[in-house]
Homo-oligomer: A and B are copies of this chain.
Amino acid sequence: MTRKVKLAVIGTGRMGSIHARNIVRSLPEAELVAVCDIRLEVAQAVADELGIQRVVRDYHELLSDPSIEAVLVVTSTNTHGFIVQDFARAGKQIFCEKPLSQELKEIDETLRVVEQAGVKLQIGFNRRFDKTYQRVHEIVASGEIGRPCLLHIVNRDPDFPAMEFLRVSGGMFLDLGIHDLDMVRYQLGEVEEVYATGAVLINDELKEFGDIDTGIILLKFANGAMGTIDNSRKAVYGYDQRLEVFCSNGTAMAKNEEETAAVKGNRDGFTSAKPPYFFMQRYAPCYVEEIRQFIECVRDDKPTPTTGLDGRAAVVIGYAALKSLHENRPVKISEIG
């Protein structure tokens, strides 16, 4: 029998506690040996629920613990950089939620440290592990429908996050849109230029801090294809997650999933269900699968399915989109960093 990979989860907020539960309940190939959160009681509650022995407030306590082989960094974004660097220097294998940092300089420094340490780094681009997007990728990558020509992504949240989060989110394209900026690379490869537009059309409060709630990014790819991403902070009919890759010999589409498969017919027509409410529901299996693959990479010493460079690339495209939004002109990716 293969050995169990011993893990610690750093940060046990909403996303960290999901990872912790998934490891304990659905990933017998790993053992969760410690949880950590600066709010010790939050970590303790997760530990109690899941029967985890070691609970710490300060992640430094875990750096030199030889029983820990790998860590999941699920803290707030502004702490990702130095925590990842510390664990890298300590020789731990690392899974880190996206983005590595909102500062390109810090991302680069972190990637340098990770590379020098020779540890693995996987970025939490969970949507790459979704069976529907994978099926689209498979169809496109197989070449059976020819050469990619056009891409369109719809990514709309069902509602605004809290205002205090929005103020520090880095802006809609970098926060909500970061998944799309990775997805386009997953489906079509490198982006060369972007043109972005956006506006506040739903919630005027956002104007205070210069963010947008509605936006479009037009992308030109190195392979000649082109595409658009449309984002909104609020789709009242639910979390809208669609994708199309149109090719020279066909098209591949990801429809929305539905909360139920029930349909009601009456004098108004036929009404089917809304999509699963939000990312926790829609992408639940992906959160298990990405960690399952991370564990496998650690155990079998394989490269991770998403890398630090993937994490960097999405942020760079995001910066280019922001620059385009502010300067109202197409921006080459090479202009950034």
- A248 near B266 with CB under 8 A, answer no
Residues facing B in A245-275 (CB within 8 A) are: 246, 248-257, 259-274
A149 touches which one: B136, B201, B225 (CB < 8 A)?
B201
A214 to B228, CA, bound (A): 13
- A residues 63-85 near B (Cβ < 8 Å) are none
Chain B residues, Cβ within 8 Å of A236: 146, 248-250, 266-267
State whether A152 touches B270 (Cβ < 8 A): no
Is the CB of A307 closer than 8 A to any CB of chain B? no
Q: Is A202 an interface residue (CB 8 A)?
A: yes
Interface residue count on the A side (C-beta < 8 Å): 73
B232 touches A131 (CB 8 A): no
**Interface flag for A25 (CB, 8 Å):** yes
Q: Among residues 6 to 42 in chain A, which have CB atoms less than 8 Å away from a CB atom of chain B?
A: 24-26, 28
Oligomer: number of copies: 4
Contacts of A127 in B (CB 8 A): none
A307 to B252, CA, bound (A): 38
A274: chain B residues within 8 A (beta carbon): 265, 267, 269-270
Residue of B nearest to A250 (CB): B266
Which of A101-109, A110-118, A163-171, A216-224 is near enough to bind chain B?
A: A216-224
CA distance A136 to B260 in the complex (A): 10
Asked if A250 and B265 sit within 8 Å, CB to CB, the answer is yes
- Is A195 in contact with chain B by the CB < 8 A criterion? yes
Complex-state Cα separation, A237 to B248, whole angstroms: 10
Q: What's the nearest-Cβ distance from chain B to residue A70, in Å?
A: 21
CA of A256 to CA of B220, assembled, Å: 27
Q: Using Cβ atoms and an 8 Å threshold, which residues of chain B touch A145?
A: 264, 266
A293 at the binding interface (Cβ < 8 Å): no
Q: Taking the complex as formed, is A230 at the interface, i.e. its CB lies under 8 A from any CB of chain B?
A: yes
Please state if B260 and A131 are interface contacts (CB–CB under 8 Å).
yes
A:298-327 near B, CB below 8 Å? none
Asked whether B218 lies within 8 Å of A132 as measured between CB atoms, the reply is: no
How far apart are A157's CB and chain B's nearest CB, in angstroms? Answer: 12
The distance in angstroms between the C-alpha atoms of A197 and B202, with both chains bound, is 28
CA–CA, A154 and B125, complex, Å: 28
What's the minimum C-beta distance from A73 to chain B, rounded to whole angstroms?
Answer: 25
Q: Are B232 and A246 in contact (CB under 8 A)?
A: yes
Report B-chain residues with C-beta under 8 Å of the C-beta of A54.
none
CA distance A5 to B240 in the complex (A): 39
Interface residues of A in 141-164 (CB under 8 A from B): 144-147, 149-150, 152, 154, 156
Cross-interface CB contact of A266 among B197, B227, B249, cutoff 8 Å: B249
In angstroms, how far is the closest chain B Cβ from the Cβ of A222? 12
B-chain residues with CB within 8 Å of residue A215 when the two chains form the complex: 226
